[in-house]
Structure 1
Amino acid sequence: MKTIHAILLLPVLAVFVASCGDNKAAENKTATEVIPVKLLPLNGQRAGSAAIAVSGQFTTDDETMLSFKVGGIIQSLLVKEGDAIRTGQLLATLNPTEINAQVMQAQLGFEKAQRDYNRVLHLYQDSVATLEQLQNAKTGMSIAEEQYKSAEFNRSHAQIRATSNGYVLRKLASEGQLVQPGTAVFETNGAQSGNWLLRVDLSNKQWAAIRQQDKAKVEIESLTGKTFEGTVVRKTEGLNQNSGTFKADIRVNGVEPGVIAYGMFGTAVIETGSSKMTDRANEGAGNSADISGRAAGTGSNGMMKDANSSSGKGPWSIPYDALMEGDGSTGYVFITTDNKTAKKVTVTIGGMEKDVVIITKGLENAPALIISGSAYLTDGSPISVK
């Protein structure tokens, strides 16, 4: 009877052993499975348009709010809004009665301290006063002298003088008005020196594409048909909370005095430094198969045809699906240099648009970006291009 049971169990054991073998083979297959992917060729090209159109207002980088150092009643305002001013020109004065009284008090206090010191000095020489009394008298004289200097300094700043050649942009107070120390009375700029800037608003993508020293063509609204050369000299590193945009300053060259006024409207076309740029990343997933097909071509050495192209300095527009585990300004993506293996690289995120992520750093030496199948990849995973 035992023999019969043993015979009946043999087929079951055989099936179990075969099943275990199949599971182990499946695990081995998964460990060495080639992941199908789609690629986006980068070819060292920067993302976005070769020319970026922007607009903004003309300003200078030396606007100054002028004020009195001391408080008092304004006695005279000697210029009006729009007036040209010269360095050192007197612009406004306070009523001097109070400040002159303060200076006189400080002067009298200093003179008394000098007399006290001289008296104690003679007494000390006659051995009547002690050394401590002499030192105290000298300290009192020094304190009175500094108070006198401070009062004289305040009197010299009870008037406002121009700090540079320029124009009065705004008059913020009136004659007879009581002002506190530091209250702005005039806003001026150095426009007479010709240091005009066009301050423009930028989107995330535009900010990432523009670099300092990029050239620009600038037009002034009031001068139809005339174009000026410009250079990007500055861009903000943070978002303007009021406008929800980034800012950049374009210095305008060759502008004659009187052509531009503060606050005038202007436009510019910024050349981002590359004559061959691509927006293929913005085409979306619908065109990714065609893009990947072009990326899949190989040369005689088995490498991608564009793998040895000169790499750009960025930025790049990539699909959202290509970015893995983005955290603030960093994340990582997968690239390939040989169409056979995936390589994991860390990238810097410059911003996000409607359909793409702007990458500013990390893809300099990447000939092709993996844009599908990334979720199944690890560093060094074997891949096949669809």
Structure 2
Amino acid sequence: MKTLKYTGLLLCLPFLQACGPKPKAVTSNINNDTIPVQVMALQQQNASAPITVSGKFTTDDEVMLSFKTGGIISTVNVSEGDAVKRGQLLATLNPTDINAQLQQAQLANEKAERDYQRVQNLYKDSVATLEQLQNGKTAMQQARQQLNMAAFNQQYSQIRAPKDGYILKKLANVRQQVTAGTAVLQTNGAGAGKWMLRVSISDHEWAMLQVNDEASIETTALPGQTLQGKVTRRSEGVDAATGTFSADITITANKPQAIAAGMFGKAIISVKHDKVKGSQTWQIPYEALLDGDGANGYVFVTDDNKTARKLKVSVAGIEKNTVTISGGLAGARSLIISGSAYLTDNSPIIVQPSKTAAK
């Protein structure tokens, strides 16, 4: 009988435990609205860091020379590489056609003057009308302009050097027929010594350098010699062929004697952005920029690693993996680089270690 009582008691134990007080559940310290993010420290770029660039020498005054009228080339007095002086005769057209046109214009002008003089005398004798006198004067003026145009065309049936320089290319030969405006010779003004190095620059470099920044230039044609120059032009648009911006560095000191157009050179530009208002720049990952429109965008930063703050920034340049920011991040401590898509202004966050740090 006792055995039955103990067995019943044992069977009731599970029910008694189920009716008893439950243990407290372990609660998480992380709020369900808290968003995990990764951050990086913000550091301003050194505005005085030099920029190394490369390009080709040019004089920026290369000219394609052509004839005003078409015809057959009679003479070409120069070859590629020849030095020329301002006003020097370089090429001429066969003069037969243009001389005939000039003579016709001269004869037509002489006839118009005679006709006008005759009508003027008849008008004085009251034989010719005022209308006839005016028409005669107009015909004479038209003939005179035709003569001026023919004389002008004769003058430009020959090519003369516009300034001291060199022949870069000869594009046509003697006895070749050319139309008006067809390039015959290409020259430059290298005789004046106004050489410059035209270089390609990236978006980030474009944002950093300014006109009048000083530079030192070297070329393999002048081993051991350094040329001094300064930035005189910074393009305001991207070259469609190269996809980069360009800048001109004009040589100001130690001007070379042995430089040719198209020769390769390297330059180191000393950037002095600390003298330019709003010259602070930061390099941030491309993924951290939100709603970018080319000039502006938004990023999230945090100062206490607990709350995200949304900032509007100015975009100075976009490269393959990074973005150059020129304004809006002053005073910010850390940039949120992961998880930004889920954030709003003042969102609570929890900072997680980056994969690189975890390794």
Equivalent residues of 2:281, 2:327 under 8 A apart: no
Q: TM-score, normalised by structure 1?
A: 0.72
> Residue 309 of structure 2: which of 342, 353, 358 is its match?
342
Equivalent pair of 1:46/1:313 in contact (CA under 8 Å): no
Sequence identity percentage:
50
- Listed one character per residue, the Cα deviations across residues 104-134 of structure 1 (whole Å, up to 9, x for unaligned) are 1011111111111111112122222111111
Please give the residue correspondences for 1:73-84 in structure 2 after superposition, counting only pairs within 5 Å. 73-84=72-83
The answer to which of 197-206 and 184-193 deviates more is: 197-206
2:191 counterpart SS class: helix
Partner of 2:215: 216
Post-superposition shift, 1:382? 7.0
Pairs within 5 Å for 1:222-237: 222-237=221-236
Q: Which residue of 2 aligns with 1:3?
A: none
Partners of 1:135 and 1:336 in 2: CA distance: 87
Who is 1:333 aligned against? 299
Over the aligned positions, Cα root-mean-square deviation in angstroms equals 3.1
Q: 2:324 aligns with which of 345, 358, 361?
A: 358
Which residues of structure 2 form unaligned runs of 5+?
A: 1-31, 352-359
**Residue in 1 that maps onto 2:113:** 114
Cα distance, 1:352 vs. partner? 1.9
- What's 2:272 paired with? 273
SS in 2 for 1:324: coil
Corresponding residue for 1:371? 336
Distance 1:125 1:364, change over 3 A: farther
Name the CA shift for 1:193/1:315 in 2 (closer, same or farther; >3 Å).
Answer: farther
Equivalent-residue separation in structure 1 for 2:261 and 2:230 (angstroms): 19
Distance in 2, Cα, partners of 1:157 & 1:351: 49
Q: How does 1:279-358 map to 2 (within 5 A)?
A: 313-334=279-300, 342-353=309-320, 355-358=321-324
Structure 2: distance between partners of 1:235 and 1:85: 31
Q: Which has the larger radius of gyration?
A: 2
TM-score (ref. length: structure 2): 0.77
SS at match of 1:229: strand
1:167 positional shift: 1.1
2:52 aligned partner = 53
Q: How many residues align?
A: 318
Distance 1:364 1:36, change over 3 A: closer
Q: Which amino acid aligns with 2:288?
A: A
1:40 alignment partner AA: A
Give 5+ residue unaligned stretches, structure 1.
1-28, 276-309
CA distance in 1, matches of 2:116, 2:302: 86
Match for 2:112: what amino acid? A
- 1:171 aligns to what? 170
Report the counterpart of residue 40 of structure 1 in structure 2. 41
SS of the residue 2:227 aligns to: strand
Match of 1:145 in 2: 144
Shift of 1:311: 8.1
**2:257 paired with 1:258:** yes
Checking the alignment, whether the CA contact within 8 Å between 1:38 and 1:385 is kept in structure 2 is no
Pairwise CA distance, 1:54: 2.2
